Structures are given as C-alpha cells and as structure tokens.
Amino acid sequence: QDVDKIVFSQDWLVRVNGLINQWLDNIGYSGLLITLEDIPKIDRASLDILKACFFASQDFPLGLVYADSGIQAQQLFPFGVQADALVHLKPISLAGVQVWLRQSLHWEPPAEFVEWIAEKSDGYPASIQKCLEDLIRMGVVKTSPNGLSLA
C-alpha cells in the first residue's frame, strides 16, 4: 500500500498532535524540528508518523530539515509537502576535505589520500563519510581507540 494513499483518521491525527504538544510542553519547548540524514533508511512506521505530523493541524511550529543527496531514493517522502526554503549545499574545498579527514582520522592524512578522497566524494561530506566507511569495510583504513589509520 502506497503511503500517499493512507488515510489517517481525524481522531488519530488529533491524538498524535496532542501527544506531541504535551511532550513539547513537558520539556519546555514551543516547537518541533525534525532532521533526517538518510531518507532511504526511514522505516514505514516513521514515515507514517511524519506524514501524520504534517497533515495534522499542529498547535506548535513544525520544521523539517533533510538531505536527499540529489537522489529520490525514498519515493514515499516528503509526500508532496511544499518546502518553504531549499538549501543546496556546495562541495567543500580540497582544504575542507583535508580538515574533515584530519578530524576523522586524528592525524594529518597524506596529500595523495586527501586528493583521492576529494575526487571520489566530489567534496560532499556524506560522500566523504561513505568513502571512509567503505575503506574501513575493505580493510584499507583500520579503526583504533585513537581514531583511524591507513592499513
């Protein structure tokens, strides 16, 4: 069943709205900001809750920040909700990749390694992270209590 075709009962929407509003009151917040990093990994139940939040009449401000890396891998999201603002991030510079790797590795990476990662990732932070994860999985980069190291 396609998530766009799910019809939430008005009672259910009111209940979800009330529970979120009560929770926000309990923690002393006036609104809710939802951030999503990896849209393709969102489970069905979470999508249902998100959809309910957007289509319920909220008694609180609601914001959503998400990254899609230019790929519409999650066709069930964002359910036709109109974005108030879109931010298109640009790749970070070679120096930025070097700083990112220095922070992740806890040592100064060789220039050739920085250039290779920058080329493979196109300078996008999520892609840099994925490159590092792939290198760890392949055994090229090893994890240790002090950070990461080249094998």
pLDDT reported for residue 8: 64
Residue 142 pLDDT: 80
- pLDDT given for residue 7 in this prediction: 59
Q: How confident is the model at residue 106 (pLDDT cuts 50, 70, 90)?
A: confident
φ, ψ dihedrals at 35, nearest 5°: -120, 135
Which pLDDT belongs to residue 86?
67
91 pLDDT exceeds 70?
A: yes
Q: Which is more confident, 2 or 16?
A: 16
Asked if residue 78 lies in contact with residue 48, where contact means CB atoms within 8 angstroms, the answer is no
